[in-house]
Amino acid sequence: MNTTTAPSTRTQVKRSANRGSHDPAVLHAIIDAAWVCHTAFTDEHGVHCIPMACWRLGDYLYIHGSNGSRMVRRLQEQDCCVTITHVDGLVLARSAFNHSMNYRSAVIYGRFETVDEAGKRPALEAFMEHLAPGRQGEVRPGNDKEYAATTVLRIALAEAACKTRSGPPEDDEEDLHLPAWAGVLPLREARGAPVADAGCGIAAPAYVQRWQD
């Protein structure tokens, strides 16, 4: 399965098309930098858009949840739309109209499929690797009961669009003389100092020591 390269009817970016991309490398980078995706689906009560942890393996985005979850059940029986957004800055222009944001975002369409029993363990181990490289070998692995209670779903990255904006404000020529500060207020995710659990006497492993910015 190849990731998307050509847009479909619904992944053709029309508004500010110059910011659109269907490059798999761009899509992969946006997913790999994400902790969370938002998954939209419907049920008899209407449309829902639910945040959840995500990770990537090859040409698939993965999520997991309890077998009993409404969302997990719905996602197996209908198409959905998954989004990921990173906000990189507030773009302050000289006119109110031209304010913007710098961002990297992805929209993925398709249907989740259930990962079979053989694939579940490596998929969840890859999730742990995504969160904290090396940790899988330190923790108690999931037991049969825990794996049995968990559904792992994956969606092919076959129909997806990315949109990115970077750089300064794009003011109209006639506004450039206005006495308003213009520029970018960068935003980034910050990693705080690790907080050891009460009673944890284990020396911090490398991935904990490296955590803080």
Ligand X SMILES: Cc1cc2nc3c(=O)[nH]c(=O)nc-3n(C[C@H](O)[C@H](O)[C@H](O)COP(=O)(O)OP(=O)(O)OC[C@H]3O[C@@H](n4cnc5c(N)ncnc54)[C@H](O)[C@@H]3O)c2cc1C
Nearest distance, CB of residue 63 and ligand X, angstroms: 18
User: Could you list the residues that contact ligand X (CB under 6 A)?
Assistant: 10-15, 85, 87, 101, 103, 105-107, 161-163
Nearest distance, CB of residue 96 and ligand X, angstroms: 12
- From edge to edge, which strands make up the β-sheet containing 60-66? 55-57, 60-66, 150-156, 113-114
Place of tokens 């980078």: 29
Nearest distance, CB of residue 156 and ligand X, angstroms: 15
- CA dist 126 and 119 (Å) reads 11
Q: Which is nearer to ligand X, 84 or 115 (CB)?
A: 84
Q: Which is nearer to ligand X, 102 or 151 (CB)?
A: 102
Q: Which is nearer to ligand X, 146 or 170 (CB)?
A: 170
Q: What is the dihedral of CA 204, 207, 209, 213, to 10 degrees?
A: -150
Nearest distance, CB of residue 92 and ligand X, angstroms: 14
In angstroms, what CA-CA distances link 176 with 103, 173, 180? Answer: 24, 6, 9
Q: Which is nearer to ligand X, 84 or 152 (CB)?
A: 84
Which residue, 182, 177, 204, is CA-closest to 193? Answer: 204
Nearest distance, CB of residue 159 and ligand X, angstroms: 8
Q: Which is nearer to ligand X, 31 or 107 (CB)?
A: 107
Q: Which is nearer to ligand X, 32 or 138 (CB)?
A: 32
Check if the beta carbon of residue 134 is closer than 8 Å to that of residue 206.
yes
Residues forming beta bridges with residue 150, ordered by sequence position:
66
Q: Which residue type occupies 204? A: A
Residue 184 tokens, joined:
């970018």
- Which one-letter DSSP state was computed for residue 124? H
Nearest distance, CB of residue 31 and ligand X, angstroms: 12
Integer-rounded Cα radius of gyration of the chain: 21
